[in-house]
Every structure is written in C-alpha cells, then in structure tokens.
C-alpha cells in the first residue's frame, strides 16, 4: 500500500468521548462564570416568594421614595413598593422575555437566512421583506405590533422577536453565503447530498459562532426594549414588575430617587454580562478547532 | 567593516508565544549575503524561512514574538539594537521587501501613482511632481507597458503579474542595497513567473542589489540563487553554492527533497518520497529534527543535536554521520 | 477500442458578467472543448489560471452546468435538458478531489462522518458496516483507523488530502476528477499524495481527470495530456509524445517557462505579455497576441484541432496545409 505510514499526529490528552462536550464546558472559565450568574439569577427569580415576604405590588404610601436601608435594601418607589422585592419578582418575567425573544428571533432568523442563502430564487423576496422590516427602528416596529396584539408579556415577546429577526437573518445569510461556496459543501453536493442535508449538516453548524454572540445581545436588547415598551404602555402591563418597567417607572425620579433605576439597571447589566459569557463559551465549545484551557 | 558582507546574521533565534509558552520558530540560524549576491532560502512550511526574513526587517510583533539571541548585522551595524526611527529609515530605503501576494501588499483604494510616490516622498523628500515623474520611470523600469496611463489606475484593474511588477517598482523606488523577496512568484502563472524572474535578474544587475530569495520551489532557487541555504523545522540543515547543492547534496533531507520534486524532463511512474510529515514546533525531538523521517538515522541522531560540519569550502551540512561516510572529518 | 467512459464534445460554458448598469456580458470560460477518456486512463488537463480547466472538471461532476455541447458519462448525456436527472443515475460512479486541504473538510464534522458522507447520502447501510467501511477507507489511504473520531483541524495538509481521497473512494467510483489535488502541499508531501493516487488507480482500476498547472506533476501522473489556454484545448497527446515533441507554440512556451532544477540553466519567458481578457477575446487564434510565430492567418481564422501524428492533435495554423501554402 502507500509507502508512508503516517506519523502520529499531535497528541494531546484526549478526554473520554462520552462527556467531552460537558467537560469542555466545565473547563471553560467564562462559560462557567456566565452559567453561574444565569443560574443564580434564575434561582433568585424562582425563589422570590421565599426570599422576601413583601408583596411586590403592595403599596405603602407612608414609605414613599425611601433610600436603601436595612428594611428596604434597594429602597422604595413612588408608590412605596419595595424595589428589592420588585427586582426579584421582575427577574422571572425579564429573563423569560429575554430568553424567548433570543430563541425565537434566532430560530426564525436562522431559518430565513439559510433559506435565502441556499434557495437563490426565494432570496430576493425574503431579503426585501427583511429590508422592509429593518427600515423601521426595531422599537417602532415592536410598538406597532405590540399595539395590535394588546398589552401582555407574550405580545411583547412576539413583537420583539419579529423586530430583531431581520438582523439575525441578515447575519446568518451572510455567513451561509460564504459557507455554501466552500469546498466541503461542494464535496457534499458531489456525493449527492440534497439541500436539507447541506443546510443541516454543513451550513447551520458553521453559522453558530456569530449567531450565538448575536443572540446574547438580542437577549439584552429585549430586556431593555421591554422597558421602553412599558413606558409607552405596550410592554409588560403594570403593576406586574419586570426589570424594564421598573426602570421606566423610575425614570421620573432619576434625580431624587436614583435607587429605583439603579438596581434593576444593575440586574439587567449582570444578566447581559452572564448571557454574553455564556454565549461566548457555547461558541467556543461547539467549535472543535478551539482548545479550551482549564 | 569586516569583509564585504552586506548582511551577516549570526545565531538568530526567533520565538513565538504559544499555548505552551515560548516556542522557537527559528533556532541558531547563521548566514551571510554578500554584495550583489543572491542567497536562496529554501524550505517547506514550518521551516522558518519567512520568519527569518521578517526578522531582518524587524517586522515581528513585540507582544507575540521575541528574539532571545542573535546578531543581524547590516553593513556592520546590528539591526536588532537599532532605534525604531533608524530601523524605519532602513526599511523601504536600503532594505526593501517583495511579498508573495501582490494584492495584499497594495492598498486597494490608492492609485498606483499614490502607492509609489508615498515611498519616494517619505524617503527621498521629493516634491509631488518630481515623485510622479520618478514613479513613471520606475514603471518603465519594471516594464509595465503604457506606464503614463497606468499611474492613475487602481490595483484591482491590473492582472496578478502587473501587480507584482508594481510591488517591485515600489521596492526598488529608493534603490535598495538588499532586496528580500518572499515567494515573489508563487502566486503567479508559470509563463508570468518566467517574466518576473527575468525582470528581477535584470534589476539586480542594473541596480547592483543583493537579493535574499525565499522560495519553496527548488527550480526557482536553482535558477536564481548563487548560494543556497536549506532550512528544516527552524534550523539550517545545509548551505552551499548552488551548483554544489544540486549536484552534490549532503544532508539526507536535501537529498530527499531534490528526489521528491517531480521533474519536467523525466517520465517517471512513481516519485521517491520522504516518509512522514513536517514536525509540529511543539513536538520536536531533542536530536536531529529530521531524524524521525530520515531513513539513514542512527540512534545518536535522535538524541544529540547535530553540529554543522564542512564538506568542501563554503559547503556545510548538519549531518555528522553523512559527512563522516563521505570522508569529511566531522 | 472500447467505448470511452467520458466523452466530451464541443463543451462550452459561458458566465454572465455584470458590467455596471449595462446588460451582462457573456464570459466564455470554456470554449468548444472535446476529449475522450477511457477506463484506466489519466488525462492531465494543464493550463494557467483562467484557462477553463477547473470549470471543465466541475461540469463533469455536475457542480456547474454546461451552456452547450455534449458530455456523456458512462453513456448518459448530462449536458442536455435532462442533465440533472441523468447525473443522478451515474452519481455514485463519479467523485471529485478538491484543491484546498483546509476548505474541503467541514471543521465541525468528525473524520468518520466526513468520509461516510457519500455512504450516508446513499443510505441503506448498518452502523457496523459504516464503521467498518470508514476504517477500511482510512487504511486504504494510509491513515490509522484510530483517526476516525478526530476533527479536521488536528491534521496536516497532506493528511487532510488523504481524508478527502478516502471520502472520494467511499462509493467505489470509477472516475475521479482531481482539481489541483497536490498544488497546496509541500514538495515532500506532494510526492506521497501523487504516489497514493497512482497506487489507488492500479488497485481499483480508476480513471482520473487530473487538473493541474504544474507540468512536472502532470507528467508524473498522466497517461495523456491536454493543454488548455483561454478556454480552449490547444494541444492533446499521449504523455510521452507531448513532452518529447510539443507542437503548439503555447505548449512550447509553457514548458520553456518552467524553472529546471539544473543550476546555470535558465527558464525562458517565451510567451510575451499576458492572457487576453475573455470578455473581449482577440479574433483568430486566441494565442496570437503572445505567439512568437504568429503570421497573417492567425489574426483572422480560429485554427481547428488537427492530428499531426496519430493521437497527437494541435490547434495551430503552423501545422495546417493551407498555412504552409500561404507561407
């Protein structure tokens, strides 16, 4: 046979196959950090009734606009509601909105982007629709949709998912257009692979990196956009708390009662950071080329 | 000034920061380039030939590369200890470089005139009008037809061969004493390659330049170089006058490389091969780096780093067993 | 002689090139190319960039379609209106080996899955059979079976090219188009891959269309050689004949331009200038703008392919009877 016995290639310690992805995730420092943050936030949101005995919607007018103290660690708002309690209860809704919007616009955008890139005849139509959607600022589009659907958390989710979909679709399409010209896709075609297989096995997995990073931003935008929508009366309807509407209600008191905006704002920042690190980590671990340092 | 060597590199080691700390891409490499001489640097990927060339111009990033030892003496002064300003003056002035890919050397948003006059204005403080005139003369020198019209075109309008001519025009703009050409014809078609090599040879005579030619193509080296240095995995394995190297190679790697290259003038139905693959810099054996692939390697080869030995005047090889077998005292 | 497995006649491929706001101009990348390929033979298709050699190879495996002409593979016409359906019938007998050892493997697919892709698409194989076949293919191309579960980035260029060849062999094809399979490899690795292709051909009776710009590599691997220039075949002959007695001035220039490994001997820049733009090709012989022997008819008439000795055809007015009278 061939005159060359190939020499062993670079040997580095290879973990047992079964849990390799899991091990890589655990070994990834920023993923671990991001995941911890997200788990803690989620746990806090779930355990809100155990962590505080105050009703998040209960108004105590005599304690209006109290600064942070032992009794009210995050202070109180204009209606005398405990901001700590509201931030805790708001976490559930805000995380849910962020996650659902990210997943929905990710799935929808990936589908539109890949179909556009792979089926060239549909592409002009799909992209014109996306351009039309993108011509409106995302928030304006969400306002329109939100108004049409009526104020409820699920209409916020649908409106925002549609609003952020075009950007995701554009991003996926751009990567897919590059990937479909690569030789491994041609190799698949020579082997008789159909469009579905090419999309599923070759194009989508190789689009994941930029997509995951984009989605971690969408997650953050969605939480913030909920605030803007609440402000306009379309977002999460008060008095139910979400981080967004706490911030927007606090805006009127930004100078004299800074704590109303600060604490939910911090919560949004922390969640965004956690999600970003988590997305980065997932991207790295799913890419076999990147070695993960322990 | 000692001797008539234009460039004298001694014990150059270049290291890069990697996953496992610093690894040497080039180790203890020494060579000289004389006035009007062409030294050919030949090797496969990972041999360190391009890294060596970039070191001469001080083009490695400080953060990821370091040169822990070595002297690069250009006309007697050590480039490695030169202040940045003086180095920049040398670069593009007395020492010029031509890279493999002309498209990435040329700025796509500048016209040909802009790219060439930039060097002239920078190094020779010419006026804009004089620089433009000089640029046209340079395009004539590199035999670009209709130079006056070409001056105002953008790089993407030119073919690969024409682009490489523009890059050469830029390189010779300040009449360099040393031209470093890193795979200057690898991206070109063979009929265009022949034209460019002819041009480089004529320019070398005309301008009295020395050339450091880096190539993986043994044919190009055989044609162009006066002396040749063969590199493998970051070390010099053999250095010799061009005729001696091609006719009486000593190192088993040189012999293998010459045999493995398919020849235009022979009908062969099989090529002699070198087994195995090029070593990864991170997994290098302590002794001779070629020993895992060498079919005449001894036990000692794998453990002891071999020393350079002399076969005939100016012909050195890093293979004591072969030198001994050929009757040259190690 | 037996029926050829590949029969190409007058194959032409045009690409629309958008020029600003004007209506697209047609670029003729492949211009009336004809050749036969018999079982067990290797046709070396040589040319410089823009010669149309890769496009020709891509048409043969259905990666792009022909504009006109005929391509018969194992007796099935694939260039006509029903080409897409016809190629499905012969798909399992054709394969392609790509140039770029880095781009031709999906970075997120294990080697086993990459090699088994043609098997998976064809379907109907048990898990155990699939694994066995992958191991067998790895060994065929000289790689240990233990590599199956690794990812492409762990391999060197030469090893990846072996993996690409293993994938091409999965369905036991009869005919493989190799598009510059060794030009991205180092000299010492290139020789290994060339020998591997030669060994496989002997063991399995494969036929190759070997596309390359390197005349020395083509000489090693081919039984027959066709030289392409600006979309057309200008010369075609059995290997020994072509290198011994190149007839077309372009072939001569191409051979003269290759640097030899003999110090003191210089390659010649025998063809002046560069290949003309295919958007506005010159009239007559397309090589006349660079040809040292061009004379009056070359600027007017397109030379036809003509046999000068049995099996050696050339498209050049220097060899036509009419030309010798005119001169």
Residue A54 has pLDDT above 80, yes or no: no
Between CA A158 and CA A169, with CA A163 as vertex, the angle to 5 degrees is 110
First-to-final CA distance of chain A: 41
Compute the distance between CA of residue C213 and CA of residue C229 in angstroms, rounded to an integer: 11
Residue B306 has pLDDT above 80, yes or no: yes
pLDDT per residue as tens digits for the range B117-140 = 988 888 888 888 999 999 999 999
> What domain count does chain A have?
1
CA distances from B180 to B39, B92, C62 (A): 10, 11, 45
What lies within 8 Å, CB to CB, of A84 at 6+ separation is A52, A72, A73, A74, A263
DSSP C155: S
Q: Which of B84-98, B205-219, C300-314 has the lowest mean pLDDT?
A: B84-98
Average pLDDT value for chain C: 91
β pairing state of C25-37 and C175-179: unpaired
Compute the distance between CA of residue B315 and CA of residue B227 in angstroms, rounded to an integer: 10
Compute the distance between CA of residue B159 and CA of residue B150 in angstroms, rounded to an integer: 12
For residue A287, the chain C residues in CB contact (below 8 A) are: 107-108
Answer whether C118 sits within 8 Å of A191, measured CB to CB. Answer: yes
CA distances from B276 to C143, C159, C304 (A): 11, 10, 48
Is some CB atom of chain C closer than 8 A to the CB atom of A86? no
- The winner for highest mean pLDDT among A70-74, A151-155, A190-194 is A190-194
Domain membership flag for residue A62: no
Is some CB atom of chain B closer than 8 A to the CB atom of C140? no
Residues spanned by the domain of A26:
2-47+86-293
Residue B201 has pLDDT above 90, yes or no: yes
Q: Phi, psi at residue C42, to the nearest 5°?
A: -120, 115
Tell me the percentage of chain B whose pLDDT exceeds 70. 97
Compute the distance between CA of residue B178 and CA of residue B37 in angstroms, rounded to an integer: 9
For residue C225, the chain B residues in CB contact (below 8 A) are: none
Compute the distance between CA of residue B106 and CA of residue A116 in angstroms, rounded to an integer: 35
Q: What is the 3-state secondary structure (H, E, C) of B76-138?
A: CEEHHHCCHHHHHHHECCCEEEECCCHHHHCCCCCCHHHHHHHHHHHHHCCCHHHHHHHHHHH
Is some CB atom of chain B closer than 8 A to the CB atom of C238? no
pLDDT band at A144 (very low <50, low <70, confident <90, very high): confident
Residue C242 has pLDDT above 50, yes or no: yes
Whether the Cβ atoms of residue C45 and residue C209 lie closer than 8 Å to each other: yes
Instruction: Give the CATH number, domain containing residue A239.
Output: 1.10.3720.10
Compute the distance between CA of residue B277 and CA of residue C189 in angstroms, rounded to an integer: 7
C119, closest residue in chain A (CA to CA): A191
Domain membership flag for residue A68: no
Element (DSSP H or E) covering residue C37: strand C25-37
CA distances from B231 to B220, B235, C156 (A): 16, 5, 19
Residue B51 has pLDDT above 70, yes or no: yes
Residue C23 has pLDDT above 50, yes or no: yes
Task: Tell me the average pLDDT across A49-54.
Answer: 78
Residue A31 C-alpha from the chain's centroid:
15
- The string of DSSP codes covering C223-249 is SEEEEEETTEEEEEEEHHHHHHS--SH
Optimal mutation site among C59, C117, C125, interface A, most CBs of chain A within 10 A: C117
Element (DSSP H or E) covering residue B260: helix B252-260
For residue B277, the chain A residues in CB contact (below 8 A) are: 6-7, 9
Domain membership flag for residue A281: yes
Compute the distance between CA of residue B219 and CA of residue B262 in angstroms, rounded to an integer: 10
Rg of chain B on CA atoms, in Å? 21
* Complete edge-to-edge strand list for the sheet that includes strand C6-17: C25-37, C6-17, C68-73, C76-77
* pLDDT at B329 (0 to 100): 67
Residue C315 has pLDDT above 50, yes or no: yes
* pLDDT at A9 (0 to 100): 43
Answer whether A10 sits within 8 Å of B282, measured CB to CB. Answer: yes
* pLDDT at A152 (0 to 100): 78
Least CB–CB distance from A4: residue in B273, B280, B292: B273
Compute the distance between CA of residue B124 and CA of residue B112 in angstroms, rounded to an integer: 18
ipTM of the complex: 0.87
pLDDT per residue as tens digits for the range A236-268 = 776 778 888 788 777 788 788 888 888 888 888
Answer whether B262 sits within 8 Å of C214, measured CB to CB. Answer: yes
Residue C323 has pLDDT above 60, yes or no: no
- The string of DSSP codes covering chain A is --S-PPPP--------STTHHHHHHHH-HHHHHHHHHHHHHHHHHHTHHHH--S-TT---GGGTTPPS-SSSTT-B-TT--BHHHHHHHHHHHHHHHHHHHHHHHHHHHHHHHHHHHHSTTTHHHHHHHHHHHHHS-HHHHHHHHHHHH-SSHHHHHHHHHHHHHHHHHHHHHHHHHHHTTSHHHHHHHHTT--HHHIIIIIIHHHHHHHHHHHHHHHHHHHHHHHHHHHHTT-SSPTTS--HHHHHHHHGGGTTTTTHHHHHHHHHHHHHHHHHHHHHHHHHHHH-TTSPPP-
Is some CB atom of chain C closer than 8 A to the CB atom of A10? yes
- The winner for highest mean pLDDT among A109-118, A205-214, C259-268 is A109-118
Least CB–CB distance from C254: residue in B190, B247, B274: B190
Q: Between these two residues, B42 and A79, which has the higher pLDDT value?
A: B42
Average pLDDT value for chain A: 82
* pLDDT at C324 (0 to 100): 53
Residue A17 has pLDDT above 80, yes or no: no
Answer whether B273 sits within 8 Å of A7, measured CB to CB. Answer: no
Q: Between these two residues, C86 and B62, which has the higher pLDDT value?
A: C86
Domain membership flag for residue A100: yes
DSSP C327: -
Residue B277 has pLDDT above 70, yes or no: yes
Angle, helices C157-169 vs C127-140, to 10°: value is: 130
Name the residue among A275, B262, B298 with its Cα closest to residue C220.
B262
Domain membership flag for residue A73: no
pLDDT per residue as tens digits for the range B101-116 = 888 888 889 999 999 9
Residue A16 has pLDDT above 50, yes or no: no
Compute the distance between CA of residue C128 and CA of residue C120 in angstroms, rounded to an integer: 13
* pLDDT at A202 (0 to 100): 94
Compute the distance between CA of residue A167 and CA of residue A174 in angstroms, rounded to an integer: 11
- Residue B107 has, within 13 A of its CA and on its CB side, a CA count of 10
Residue A227 has pLDDT above 90, yes or no: no
* pLDDT at A7 (0 to 100): 41
pLDDT band at A3 (very low <50, low <70, confident <90, very high): very low
Compute the distance between CA of residue A203 and CA of residue A182 in angstroms, rounded to an integer: 10
Domain membership flag for residue A77: no
Residue C14 has pLDDT above 50, yes or no: yes
Q: Phi, psi at residue B252, to the nearest 5°?
A: -55, -30
Q: How far is A6 from chain B (nearest CA, A)?
A: 5
For residue A3, the chain B residues in CB contact (below 8 A) are: 273, 275
Length of chain A: 294
What is residue C94's three-state secondary structure?
A: strand
For residue C140, the chain A residues in CB contact (below 8 A) are: 1
Tell me the percentage of chain B whose pLDDT exceeds 90. 55
Q: Rounding to the nearest 10 degrees, give the CA dihedral for residues A253, A256, A258, A260.
A: -50
Domain membership flag for residue A54: no
Residue C35 has pLDDT above 90, yes or no: yes
Answer whether B275 sits within 8 Å of A3, measured CB to CB. Answer: yes
Partner chains of A (3+ C-beta pairs under 8 Å): B, C
Domain membership flag for residue A231: yes
Length of chain B: 330
Residue A4 has pLDDT above 50, yes or no: no
B199, closest residue in chain C (CA to CA): C269
Compute the distance between CA of residue B103 and CA of residue B160 in angstroms, rounded to an integer: 8
Residue A292 has pLDDT above 60, yes or no: no
pLDDT per residue as tens digits for the range C60-116 = 999 999 999 999 999 999 987 777 788 888 999 999 999 988 889 999 999 999 999
């Amino acid at each position: 046979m061939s005159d060359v016995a190939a020499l062993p290639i670079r040997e580095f310690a290879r973990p047992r196959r079964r849990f390799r992805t899991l091990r890589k995730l655990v070994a990834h420092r920023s993923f671990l950090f991001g995941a911890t943050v997200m788990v803690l936030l989620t746990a806090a949101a779930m355990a809100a009734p155990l962590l505080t005995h105050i009703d998040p919607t209960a108004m105590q007018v005599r304690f209006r606009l109290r600064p942070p103290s032992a009794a009210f660690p995050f202070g109180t708002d204009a209606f005398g509601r405990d901001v700590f309690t509201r931030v805790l209860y708001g976490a559930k809704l805000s995380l849910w909105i962020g996650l659902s919007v990210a997943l929905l616009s990710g799935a929808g955008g990936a589908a539109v982007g890949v179909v556009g890139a792979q089926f060239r005849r549909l592409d002009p139509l799909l992209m014109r629709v996306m351009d039309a959607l993108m011509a409106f600022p995302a928030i304006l589009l969400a306002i329109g949709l939100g108004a049409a659907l009526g104020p409820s958390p699920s209409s916020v989710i649908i409106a925002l998912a549609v609003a952020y979909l075009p950007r995701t679709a554009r991003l996926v399409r751009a990567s897919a257009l590059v990937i479909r010209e690569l030789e491994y896709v041609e190799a698949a075609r020579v082997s008789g692979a159909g469009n579905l297989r090419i999309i599923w096995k070759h194009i989508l997995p190789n689009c994941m990196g930029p997509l995951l990073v984009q989605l971690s931003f969408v997650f953050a935008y969605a939480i913030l956009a909920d605030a803007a929508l609440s402000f306009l009366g379309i977002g999460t309807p008060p008095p139910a708390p979400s981080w967004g509407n706490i911030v927007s209600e606090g805006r009127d008191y930004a100078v004299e009662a800074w704590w109303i905006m600060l604490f939910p704002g911090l919560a949004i920042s922390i969640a965004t950071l956690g999600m970003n690190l988590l997305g980065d980590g997932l991207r790295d671990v799913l890419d076999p080329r990147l070695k993960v340092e322990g | 000034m000692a001797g008539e060597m234009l460039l004298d590199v001694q014990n150059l080691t270049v290291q890069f920061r990697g996953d496992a700390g610093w690894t040497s891409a080039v180790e203890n490499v020494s060579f000289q380039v004389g006035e009007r001489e062409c030294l050919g640097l030949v090797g496969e990927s990972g041999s360190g030939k391009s890294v060596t060339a970039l070191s001469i111009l001080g083009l490695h990033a400080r953060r990821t590369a370091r040169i822990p030892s070595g002297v690069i003496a250009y006309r007697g002064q050590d480039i490695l200890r030169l202040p940045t300003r003086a180095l920049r003056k040398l670069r593009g002035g007395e020492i010029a470089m031509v890279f493999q890919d002309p498209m990435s050397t040329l700025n796509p948003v500048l016209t040909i005139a802009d790219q060439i006059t930039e060097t002239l204005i920078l190094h020779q403080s010419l006026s804009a009008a004089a620089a433009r005139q000089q640029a046209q003369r340079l395009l004539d020198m590199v035999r670009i037809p209709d130079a006056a019209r070409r001056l105002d075109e953008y790089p993407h309008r030119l073919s690969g061969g024409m682009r490489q001519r523009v890059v050469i025009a830029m390189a010779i703009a300040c009449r360099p004493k040393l031209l470093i050409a890193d795979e200057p014809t690898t991206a070109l078609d063979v009929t265009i390659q022949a034209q460019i090599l002819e041009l480089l040879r004529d320019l070398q005579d005309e301008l009295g330049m020395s050339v450091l030619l880096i190539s993986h193509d043994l044919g190009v080296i055989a044609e162009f170089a006066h002396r040749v240095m063969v590199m493998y995995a970051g070390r010099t394995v053999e250095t010799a006058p061009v005729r001696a190297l091609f006719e009486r190679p000593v190192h088993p790697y040189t012999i293998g490389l010459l045999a493995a290259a398919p020849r235009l003038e022979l009908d062969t139905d099989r090529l002699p091969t070198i087994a195995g693959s090029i070593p990864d810099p991170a997994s290098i054996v302590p002794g001779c780096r070629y020993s895992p692939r060498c079919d005449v390697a001894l036990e000692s080869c794998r453990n002891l780093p071999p020393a350079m030995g002399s076969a005939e005047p100016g012909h050195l090889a890093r293979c004591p067993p072969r030198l001994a077998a050929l009757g040259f005292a190690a | 002689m037996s029926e050829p497995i590949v029969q190409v006649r007058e194959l032409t491929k045009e690409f629309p090139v958008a020029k600003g706001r004007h209506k697209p101009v047609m670029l003729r990348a492949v211009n009336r190319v004809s050749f036969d390929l018999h079982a067990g033979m290797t046709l070396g298709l040589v040319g410089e960039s823009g010669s149309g050699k890769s496009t020709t190879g891509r048409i043969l495996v259905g990666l792009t379609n022909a504009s006109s002409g005929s391509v018969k593979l194992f007796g099935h016409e694939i260039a006509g209106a029903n080409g897409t359906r016809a190629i499905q019938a012969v798909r399992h007998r054709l394969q392609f080996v790509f140039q770029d050892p880095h781009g031709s493997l999906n970075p997120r697919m294990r080697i086993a899955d990459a090699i088994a892709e043609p098997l998976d698409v064809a379907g109907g194989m048990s898990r155990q059979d699939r694994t066995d076949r992958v191991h067998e293919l790895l060994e065929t191309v000289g790689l240990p079976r233990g590599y199956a579960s690794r990812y492409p980035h762990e391999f060197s260029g030469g090893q990846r090219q072996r993996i690409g060849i293993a994938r091409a062999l999965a369905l036991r094809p009869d005919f493989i188009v190799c598009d510059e399979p060794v030009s991205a490899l180092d000299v010492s690795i290139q020789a290994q891959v060339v020998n591997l292709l030669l060994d496989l051909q002997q063991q399995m009776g494969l036929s190759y269309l070997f596309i390359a710009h390197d005349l020395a590599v083509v000489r090693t691997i081919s039984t027959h050689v066709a030289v392409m220039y600006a979309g057309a075949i200008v010369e075609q002959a059995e290997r020994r004949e072509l290198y011994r007695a190149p007839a077309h001035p372009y072939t001569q220039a191409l051979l003269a331009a290759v640097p030899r490994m003999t110090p003191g001997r210089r390659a010649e820049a025998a063809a002046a200038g560069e290949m003309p733009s295919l958007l506005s090709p010159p009239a007559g012989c397309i090589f006349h703008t660079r040809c040292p022997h061009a004379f009056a008819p070359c600027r007017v008439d397109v030379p036809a392919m003509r046999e000068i000795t049995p099996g050696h055809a050339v498209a050049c007015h220097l060899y036509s009877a009419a030309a010798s009278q005119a001169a």
